[in-house]
Amino acid sequence: MYGSYTGPRAGAAAAAVAVLLLAGCSSSGGGSSDGGAKGAGSSDGGSSDGGAKGGGEKDAPAAVGQQPEGTAPFWVNPEGNAARQVAAYAEDGEKGNAELIRKIAEQPVGEWISPDGPREAAQGFTEAAEKAGREALLVLYNIPHRDCGQFSKGGAADGDAYRTWVDGVAQGIGDRRATVILEPDALLHLVDGCTPQKFHEERYDLLKGAVERLKQQPNTAVYMDAGNAGWQSPDALFEPLQRAGIAAADGFAVNVSNYRTTADSTDFGKRLSAKVGGKPFVIDTSRNGNGPYGGGDPAESWCNPPGRALGEPPTTETGDELVDAYLWIKRPGESDGECKGGPKAGDWWPEYALGLARAAK
């Protein structure tokens, strides 16, 4: 799928991190992870924090602050992989690399909620964000039969387990501000046939139920994943989105963990919006600075493609009334999967992070 959840931070580990952050490790706090991007347009989540590697394992994160609230109201995690990598490079005297990775560390990125301890994780991130005067950006990626058994396979054991998990996330958010990106690839894998037919009805029900449960929280915005400009068409997507509950959501998300340009993503989103009642959308610009990769095997163009670049920084000032925000939903520098020399999906890969930062315009 677009991404996958992988990584060591789960359950008690997430709760412990949240406690440390709120105890004053820094001015804000929290840290989970994200994923990659798969298929002709999939994504890969992951919640691997695991510490920065490559410049040496270091415990102390770099000092990073928040972006201006007026243009980028989302929380910057001072304990994330990129911040730790900056500290590692700085301690090793690699100042040039440290400054490159700082381009990532100083931006808000999605926090992919672990399959374990969802309430504690969501509470930790949203409390840390609130303490910093910002809004948490959360990604839910735990649908049963996730990613059709590919790099990001996994998910909740069954529908009841998923409903319990979503309820835990909602309880953890409480009345604090949060934007939730709901289940990258879950809908698309129904459309492209990757998910077996026998699971379709349940998945539609789970997605619709998740939107309804999350929207019970007074300050939570929900955006349903809707693929990218290179994977399926608005004509193929609008009815599945309607069936999955887009009417009750705040909008949809495009280009999660993918590389399609902002211009192409905006065009795609507008055409889809026109078919679902004019719903607004958000665009993942984390790694689309150079657009999609045109070389190699087309079936793996999504997986750790070379020569890519960071895209537009996260902001709500997009200049387009239908585009609610440019977001870094996928965490730049975390692998799409075990391809092209990369580690497993969601793991931090400093060499790839450096490449993205060097190529940034």
CA distance 337 to 234: 27
| Ramachandran angles phi, psi of 158, nearest 5° | -160, 180
Regarding the domain delimited by 12-359, which CATH topology (the fold level of the hierarchy) does it fall under?
A: TIM Barrel (3.20.20)
Domain coordinates in residue numbering, the chain: 12-359
pTM of structure: 0.87
- List Cβ neighbours of 301 (8 Å cut-off, separation of 6 or more): 40, 292, 293, 294, 295
- List Cβ neighbours of 70 (8 Å cut-off, separation of 6 or more): 317
* C-alpha to C-alpha distances, 281 to 54, 88, 105, 107, nearest whole angstrom: 36, 36, 25, 20
pLDDT tens digits for 244-274?
999 999 999 999 999 999 999 999 999 999 9
Q: What pLDDT, on a 0 to 100 scale, did the predictor assign at position 146? A: 87
pLDDT beneath 50, residues of the chain: 1-51, 53-58
Q: What pLDDT, on a 0 to 100 scale, did the predictor assign at position 54? A: 45
Q: What pLDDT, on a 0 to 100 scale, did the predictor assign at position 159? A: 97
Query: Active-site residues: which are they?
Result: 147, 185, 336
The letter for the amino acid at 212 is E
